[in-house]
Amino acid sequence: MKIIVGLGNPGIQYENTRHSLGFELADILANKLDIGFNENKSLKSMIAKTKIANEDIILVKPQTFMNSSGEALRKIADYYKVPAGDIIVACDDTYLETGVVRIRFGGQAGGHNGLKSIISNLGSEFWRMRLGIGDNGVVPLENYVLSKIPQRDGEIIRTMIDKAAEEMIRFISEKKFENKTIK
């Protein structure tokens, strides 16, 4: 069993923001896999279930807000008895150029509060799919990640999310987990 987690913030005010790209990836994956999310209040998440190449998949959008994502993920990992090494977390990354996807196992949070929360709850031995959003260096980081995605970046980000979703499906169906960067 694998758990795929898209990080974001719940609520319509956070839709189409850079910080909720993990949610967008989860939604695109659900669409491609023809499944829907259901709310699970006890697990503090929206959850969808499916199989990819005979592998049980739990697709998750934590509803705890970004900075407490680890709290929901700990509950889910415990409930489904899934070790951290079988968890893949998708999140935004300001250190990557807009449109670049980086997949890595283990490591640090890199300043990302959602990853910090997960690391404090599960440790650092899980897969990360980082979705590049860049950093304009002018707007304070908190405002930048929570701002709506401008039209000029929209197409690049949509293409990136689609590539990331396809890579996630390939990643699981071929059971070929590897560190890589996609441009």
Active site residues: 19
Phi, psi of 28 (to 5 degrees): -65, -45
Tokens 């090494």 locate to: 85
Residues 6+ apart with CB under 8 A from 105: 85, 125, 126, 127, 128, 177, 179
Helices (H), ranges, the chain: 21-32, 69-80, 113-122, 141-146, 151-173
